[in-house]
Structure 1
Amino acid sequence: MVRLARLKEALSVAEGDPELVRSQLQAFGHQIPLLYFMLFVNTVAVAVTHLRSAPAWLSIYIPVLLCAVCVIRCVRWWRVRRRVLTHDKAVPELRRLIWLAGIFGIAFSAWSLLLFPYGTAYEQAQVAFYMATTVVGCVFCLMHLRAAALLLLSIVILSFATFLVFTGYPVFIAMAVDMTLVGLALAFIIELYYRTFAGVVHAQRELQASQQNTQRLSDDNFRLASIDSLTDLPNRRSFFASLRALSEQALGSGGGFNVGLIDLDGFKQVNDIYGHASGDLVLQEVGLRLLALAEPGIFFARLGGDEFGVLAQHQLSNETLVALGQRICDALSQPYQVAGNVAELSGTIGWAAFPEAGTTVAQVFERADAALYVGKESRRGTPVIFSTEHETRIRRSSLVTQELRHADLESELFLEFQPIHDVLTQRTIGMEALGRWHNARLGAVKPEEFIRIAERTELILRITEVLLRKALDEVSRWPSELYLSFNLSAIDISTSARARRLIDIVLASGVPPHRVSFEITETAVTRDFEQAHSALTMIKQAGCRVSLDDFGTGYSSLSYVHRLPFDTIKIDRSFMTDVDSNSASKKIVKSVLDLCGNLGLECVVEGLETSSQAEVVKALGARAVQGYLFGRPMRASAVRAYLQTALGQSYALGARP
């Protein structure tokens, strides 16, 4: 049964192996001209030698017919030699070739056997030689078609060997034995060659599959390396690669292009309120909206976090840039569905032109970032194009940064203090420390300018340390009733170690921790809510107080009030400008005061400048206030005079508590 199965396999077509079938037909196609040429020449040679000894139908008509068939087959091959067959068509074609090999074997064998009795012994020997050499040649031409080769070999060897044996002549019997042995050897060679051929085909297929897998893996790796997995936008690496390519092209051709940087306004609050999973959904939606705006020559990318980039590959006019930027901002300002709620965000974009704004990748990117910063600072939700004004800011920022890095902070930094007043007792209850910097080269530098730069470079840590020590040294000379309010940066509470450093400075000063209130803005809290919560909890546990500064200027202030360990809320001065004339402002202040009362928190109202404003907030329930009406920021040396004379208070100054 096993041998029968093997024989059946040897004489069948490998239908389940399309690659092998295709390779068999392709290889055999190269042998067809040689096969038919050999049949044609050998047949003509035998026919010519038998013209006188054999009848015309054997020496002329049948050979002409057989040769004509060979010529026809050869012509047909020439016409279709370049065709590519599908597997469904290749399998029937291969079966036809097997049957054709059998038919040819029968036809040529029958003609030879009919021709053999005619002529002399030499002519008979020629027929035998013809059959032997022709079958060997044909078998080698059919080596790629195992089934066809074995079928042809079996028909010729069996028919002719049998015929020779039955002649009874010892020579012919010996020839029959030789032909049989040669046939067996050929069958063995056919099998070995076919296995080798099939093995090569399979090896090539595996190699191709391996190469395809390698290419697929390479493509996947390239995609992972070049595409942001969350938004499916090109990533930072791809953005800068395109930016470099555009700059090289522009420098070579004298052309230009535009670079835009996009930042989401309010994204941090989404992460903190709804969680990072919801934040990811927002970023995915942003990616979809940006892709919807993409067009030939406009390239979007995600640079990291909630920052995105855009390249306009052809330089656009300012009007066109503003229009494009506004379309982007409008698309990003549409509501987002987040965790069953609606989140309101906006996008700000800064534009810079190459080569006008910068002639290198770093310069043009920096200029776009400068324009974005201006937009974030004063024109959120709108496009901003880099201008010479921004260039001046960059140079000023660079100069301030260099001076700040090399400054003698101990001698150049100093403090001013602004009173915090109790309107019921008409007494000063605390002082807010305000950092100041006077540089020999720059003169007096505004706090909002050098603090912002210090936060970018993390020099703020050193500045906070110097100012806090100076402030605590002053507090030690104040009456024990007064407390210090000291502002912190987000960097100051960005790690537990940095929060511990603040506590250690307070403890080392000898000032009781309860007399120190650290102020932190909502913006600083939202950078990393969990870390802020941990750091502020440490500060509170050490005995210090914690205040939320500028309440009402952020996106979601109420969400932090009950989640962080605050003792005090400071209402931002922006609500005070018209509190005595605007009912809406009054209601907001009243609501915050009531909120603080319900939560057991103190409330400080900032920015009071007129008696009218003071009377209104007092009537609304405010007690602790701050503003120019009650005292402007003053140097440490002026605090004594202020406490003793300006407010008429009798404090025992000079003694350390």
Structure 2
Amino acid sequence: MTIPGLRHLLGLYDIRENDPVLAEAQFRAFARQVLILYAVLSFNLAGLAYAHYGQAPFWSIVGPPAVLITVIVISAAVWLHMARRPPQGEDAFVSLRIVNFFAFLLALSIAIWATTLFGRGNPANDIHILFFLGITVMFCMQCLSQLRSASYILATVALPYCVYYVAIGEPLVKMTVVNYVVVLLGSLVMHQFAYRDFCDLVSLTEENGRLAHTDPLTGLPNRRSFVARLEETVETALAKGGRFGVGVIDLDGFKPVNDSLGHGAGDAVLREVARRLESVGLGWPARLGGDEFGLIVEGGIDLDEIGRRICADLGRPYHLREGQAQIGASIGFAVFPDAATRVETLVDRADFALYHAKARRRGSSTCFAPEHEAELRRHADVEQALRRADLAAEFHLLYQPIIDVADGRVEAYEALARWNSPTLGSVSPADFIPVAERSGLIRDLTRILLTKALDTMRGWPVERRLSFNLSAHDIAGPEGVDALTTLVVASEIDPSRIVFEVTESGLMRDLVDARRALTSLKALGVRIALDDFGTGYSSLSYLQRLPVDRLKIDRSFISRCTEDETSLNIIRSILDLCRHLALDCVVEGIETVEQKRLLRSVGCRSMQGYLFQRPMPAEAIAAFDAASGPGMIKHQGREGQPAAA
């Protein structure tokens, strides 16, 4: 036999020590079967001893089986103890080597004892001995089928005794032994097949387990793995009194990259984000889904510095095959145990800190702080009150005019939602609208308020328009668009008198769906306004791809335009853009006569703000219209003074 062949033969008796996963699986498989193996083996030992009672010496049918059964019982107790916490890694290899050694000693001892009984009784007793050895070895090999080395050890111990019985036995004994050897060799071949299948199954199970806990696109751990790792970290920190941070990272500007450069480019960005998170080495990253990532930071916790470094690293340009992409990242952190001690609460706190970071300044990080707790409770109170609310009874609309300052006339009224809660009192739209969006109640609220606005509009002059704000959730699917269409058609109001306002940042969440929804609404005949223009991504390609009729310049530029030349130049640029694209333009947030005059001088015509009129109830519109004919608009503010003061 060649040396490679000898190595292969010896390998049948080895444990694959380069595969700890297989070793752990072998241990678990044997642990499930060891008790039944020992029970059958003990019963067979007692049965063989009983069959030779009175024919063999008393000590030979009592002493050896008693010792063997005692050893078996002790081994069973040890296995029961070990099965409670299965060994891993090197400990699993040690346990399997012990199984091999114990199988050799036990098989050798039983074979020697049974051989000492051979010839002590009648021919039926000798056949019983052969039957005992044969059936016991076959059963033990079956129980050890996942541990090939132990099965081959049993077969190796059995073969010399088969040769011995063939040499000394009667013809019937010889034929019985020969039959057994043939069956034994066939069983070894089948065991080899079964062992290979077991190894393949373990490998497949391991791969499936890895895939179940791994994000296939980025190779990072997925949400399930993140939660499991977080649970382990919490348990360790509780036991040792440690601290750690949990981060939730959201990419800013990812959707526009996906929409403008394609999904392939978006996937490439996500893979590069994963690579940067791993290479920066500031925590244990995972992909939670979409463009959201998680981070567990152990050890020294300077989360502000970690947040700055990650935001800076993820904000660097992404050089793709399709072109260069630029995105940012916002991060929310929560510290254990300061923010919370439960996994779900920690993630919720980190998510709230992320929301706070996005609302304050995109591209930054925020750590959940004590002052956020009051805000979070406020949000929770608002959500509970909102879920219990009678939306039709508790919500109402106020209307603020949009003025054509060139003609001094009202061109439209913007409907503004207000909520008087029986339990919370007056609740700001800045509080209840985000909660309504997160809780899924925004569509019901929009439907009720639009119905009220359309009913109010029936008494207006035919040239007067209604401007109504929509949430991105209202147009996130065909059902929402169908509901809006149904309400407009049922009102029998000319759709061209209705302007639906949508925020720029809301549309950018999914530009493809937004375009589809707005195109459907535009086909109905309504007009589309892009609200808060200049505070989102402001890509010219979006204006080209979206069916927009009007831009509303955000009030943040207006409040600084009289002192800040840059703000004024931005307004000039947007006005020029509107003229070249044939879009209407409205400036909102006008509070002083000085602002009005300056903006009128650079070409602004449609304005809205406290200078002209605060939001008013529907009942006051008729009186305001009567006092606001062409050239009759009065200012509510004074020169250089904000009307809202």
Q: TM-score, length-normalised on structure 2?
A: 0.69
Counterpart-to-counterpart distance in 2, 1:227 and 1:431 = 52
CA distance in 2, matches of 1:533, 1:477: 32
State the Cα distance separating 1:603 from its structure 2 match: 1.6
Q: Displacement of 1:649 after TM fit?
A: 7.4
Matched, 1:309 2:273: no
2:404/2:411 contact within 8 Å kept: yes
Matched, 1:354 2:336: yes
2:527 is matched with 545
Query: Are the counterparts in 1 of residues 501 and 528 from structure 2 also a CA contact under 8 Å?
Result: yes
1:267 aligned residue: 254
2:505 is equivalent to residue 527 of structure 1: no
The aligned runs of 1:316-355 (5 Å cut-off) are: 316-317=300-301, 320-355=302-337
Q: Which moved more, 1:529-538 or 1:336-345?
A: 336-345
Give 1:51's aligned residue. Answer: none
- Residue pairs, 1:199-238, within 5 angstroms: 202-238=189-225
Paired letter, 2:461: P
Residue 527 of structure 1: SS of its match in structure 2? coil
Contact 2:318 2:326 in 1 (8 A): yes
Cα distance change of structure 1 residues 524 and 321 upon mapping to structure 2, 3 Å threshold: closer
Task: Work out whether residues 23 and 201 of structure 1, in 8 Å CA contact, stay in contact via their aligned partners in 2.
Answer: no
Written as runs of structure 1 = structure 2, the 5 A alignment for 1:489-638 is 489-638=471-620
Work out the CA distance in 1 between the residues paired with 2:11 and 2:609: 91
Q: Note the C-alpha offset of 1:360.
A: 1.5
Secondary structure of 1:227 counterpart: coil
- Residue 443 of structure 1 is matched in structure 2 by 425
Matched to 2:222, the amino acid is N
Structure 2 residue 402 is matched with structure 1 residue 420: yes
Code of the residue aligned with 1:616 in structure 2: it is L
For residues 447-468 of structure 1, the C-alpha deviation after alignment (integer angstroms, 9 at most, x for no partner) is 1110110011111111111111
Q: Contact conserved, 1:643 with 1:649, CA < 8 A, in 2?
A: no
AA partner of residue 443 (structure 1) = G
Secondary structure, counterpart of 2:420 in structure 1? strand
CA distance in 2, matches of 1:583, 1:635: 37
Query: What whole-Å deviation, never above 9, does each CA across 1:51-98 have from its counterpart, x for those lacking one?
Result: xxxxxxxxxxxxxxxxxxxxxxxxxxxxxxxxxxxxxxxxxxxxxxxx
The aligned amino acid for 1:303 is: L
Aligned 8 A contact 2:412 2:464 in 1: yes
Q: Which residue of 2 aligns with 1:244?
A: 231
Q: Which amino acid aligns with 2:550?
A: T
Write out per-residue CA displacement over residues 287-333 of structure 1, whole angstroms, 9 at most, x where no aligned residue: 111111336xx32111111111111244x45xx22222222222212
CA contact (8 A) 2:519 2:547 kept: yes
Unaligned runs of at least 5 residues, structure 1: 1-11, 27-140, 150-185, 652-657
Give the aligned partner of residue 21 of structure 2.
Answer: none
Could you list the per-position Cα deviations for residues 313-357 of structure 1 after superposition, in whole angstroms to 9, with x for gaps in the alignment?
44x45xx22222222222212221234433222222222122221
RMSD value, Cα: 3.4
The residue that corresponds to 1:47 in the other structure is: none
SS of 1:278's equivalent in the other structure is: helix
Indicate conservation of the 8 Å contact 2:402/2:607, yes or no. yes
Which segment is superposed worse, 575-584 or 412-421?
575-584
Change (3 A) 1:142 1:455: closer
Q: Which runs of 5+ in 2 are unaligned?
A: 16-155, 164-173, 634-645
In structure 2, what residue type is equivalent to 1:605?
A: V
**Alignment match, 1:288:** 275
Number of the residue aligned with 2:623:
641
Preserved contact between residue 14 and residue 21 of structure 1 (Cα < 8 Å): no
For residues 314 and 381 of structure 2, the distance between their equivalents in structure 1, rounded to whole angstroms, comes to 35
Q: 1:428-474, CA deviations, whole angstroms, 9 ceiling, x for partnerless residues?
A: 11111111111122111111110110011111111111111111111
Q: Which residue pairs with 1:19 in the alignment?
A: 8
Q: Is the 8 A contact 1:274 1:339 kept in 2?
A: no
- Residues 206 and 415 (structure 1), Cα distance of their counterparts in 2 relative to 1, 3 Å cut: same
After TM superposition, give the deviation of residue 515 of structure 1 in Å: 0.8
Q: Does 1:457 align with 2:457?
A: no
Instruction: Please list the CA deviations of residues 37-57 of structure 1 after superposition, one character each: whole Å capped at 9, or x if unmatched.
Output: xxxxxxxxxxxxxxxxxxxxx
Distance in 2 (CA, whole Å) between partners of 1:440 and 1:206 is 74
For residues 23 and 272 of structure 1, do their structure 2 counterparts lie closer, same or farther at Cα, with a shift above 3 Å needed? closer
Partner in structure 2 of residue 299 of structure 1: 284
Distance verdict in 2 for CA 1:294–1:197, change over 3 Å? farther
Taking the aligned partners of 1:546 and 1:643, their CA distance within structure 2 comes to 24
- Assess if the C-alpha contact under 8 Å between 1:606 and 1:625 holds in 2: yes
Q: Which amino acid aligns with 2:285?
A: F
**Residue matched to 1:91:** none
Number of matched residues?
488
> 1:529: how far off?
1.8
> What secondary structure sits across from 2:589 in the alignment?
coil
Q: Is the 1:239–1:301 Cα contact (8 Å) retained in structure 2?
A: yes
Q: Which of the residues 342, 345, 351 maps onto 1:363?
A: 345
Q: Give the partner amino acid of 2:552.
A: K
Pairwise CA distance, 1:610: 2.6
**Contact 1:643 1:650 (8 Å CA) reproduced:** no
Q: Who wins on radius of gyration, i.e. which is larger?
A: 1
**Correspondent of 2:456 among 455, 474, 477:** 474
Shift of 1:197: 7.4
For the Cα contact (< 8 Å) 1:263–1:349, is it kept in 2?
yes
Runs of 4 or more, structure 1, over 6 Å off, are 12-17, 141-145, 188-198, 648-651
C-alpha deviations, 1:225-268, integer Å up to 9, x for none? Answer: 11111111111001111111222233334434322211112212
State the alpha-carbon separation in 2 of the partners of residues 202 and 379 from structure 1.
69
Q: Kindly, what percent of the aligned residue pairs are identical? A: 44
SS at match of 1:455: helix
Q: Distance in 1 between matches of 2:527 and 2:8?
A: 79
Preserved CA contact (<8 Å) 1:269 1:556: no
Asked if the contact 1:19/1:205 (under 8 Å) is kept, the reply is no
Q: Quick check: 1:143–1:193 contact (8 Å CA) kept in 2?
A: no
Distance 1:309 1:489 in 2: 27
Residue in 1 that maps onto 2:120? none
> Are the equivalent residues in 1 in contact too, given 2:256–2:511 (CA < 8 A)?
no
Q: Is the 8 A contact 1:606 1:626 kept in 2?
A: yes
